[in-house]
Amino acid sequence: MSGAAQARGGGAPEVVVVDLDGTLVAGDAFGALLRHLLARHRLRLLAAVVAAPLWGPALALPPTRSLAERALVWLAGLGLDDRAFAAEARRVAAVHAGADGGRVAAAGVERVREHLRRGDRVVVATGCAEPLAREVCAVLGLDGVELVASTLVRHRWRFPAPVVHARGPGKLRALVAAGVPLPVDHAYSDSARDVPLLRAARTPHVVDPRGADLRRLRRALGDDVEVLRWAGATGPPAGR
């Protein structure tokens, strides 16, 4: 019997919140989009490389992270209208979450499909920008999920507006704003950054975290928290 079925025990549909990057598909989807867009234009890629000593540290510091992200989005998408940007997002999603890429967390995706089959309300909550997150969910075949993602207001030429992030504590605020009641019944994530979300779940589930994250997650959630491996087994992830 699966972890979802064991926790459920029958009854009314439940509310389930699932992270995207690292939980349903490997890697940073939006980072993959930015790299793809920059690589299409040598001058933009060169500009990004030359400026890396500035935006690299800025991305690592919370006070400057948003500004650095907006600068990269502006440079990568310069001149693209909404239709062209969406087309590039579809191309990246098809590769990033495609069945042949070996990047899909089969166990996590199957658990989401199980919740959907049971009639549960499933919300994918992610710091990835909404247009790309929606395309990734479509490639994964998760058309029945709701999406709560970071908002990205960009313009063809002008510097983009501030991003409203759905990550860390901001993920909870974004869920409440979207009408998702807290606490939720189940939450799935690979990252210690989602401790606020996992603590806001009656039953938290951890999906193949890295070693340091697993230690932090167990300190926050207890040693008996379910650890779901990508291949489908439960228990501590091997070799991580």
- Give the model confidence (pLDDT) of 108-161 as tens digits: 999 999 999 999 999 999 988 888 999 999 999 998 899 999 887 766 766 665
Mean pLDDT of 98-108: 79
Give start and end residues of each alpha helix (H) in 103-161.
106-117, 130-139
Identity of the amino acid at 86: A
Per-residue pLDDT at 121: 97
User: Cis link prior to 131 (omega < 30° from 0)?
Assistant: no
Supply the pLDDT for residue 181.
Answer: 92
Q: Please report the DSSP string for 62-80 in residue order.
A: HHHHHHHHHHHHHHHTTT-
| CA–CA distance, 164 with 171 (Å, rounded to integer) | 10
Res 138: pLDDT? 94
Query: What are the residues facing 104 on neighbouring strands?
Result: 25
Q: Residue 85: pLDDT above 90? A: no
pLDDT band for 100, please (50, 70, 90 cuts).
low
pLDDT confidence band for 65 (50 / 70 / 90): confident
Contacts of 4 (CB under 8 A, 6+ apart): 111, 114, 115, 118, 186
What's the mean pLDDT in 21-29? 91
Q: How many CB atoms lie within 10 A of CB 132?
A: 27
Q: What is the distance of C-alpha 33 from the center of its chain?
A: 14
Q: Cα–Cα distance between 97 and 119 in angstroms, integer?
A: 24
pLDDT at 213 over 90: no
Average confidence (pLDDT) over 26-35: 88
pLDDT band for position 3 (cuts 50, 70, 90)? low
pLDDT band at 233 (very low <50, low <70, confident <90, very high): very low
Of 3 and 239, the one with more pLDDT: 3
CATH class of 3-228: alpha beta
Work out the average pLDDT over 67-74. Answer: 82
pLDDT-based confidence at residue 204 (cuts at 50, 70, 90): very high
Please list, residue by residue across 9-46, b when 16 or more beta carbons sit within 10 angstroms of its beta carbon and e when fewer do: eeeeebbbbbbbbbbbbbebbbebbbbbbbeeeeebbe
Strands 226-228 and 201-207: parallel
Average the pLDDT over 56-83 and give the result: 81
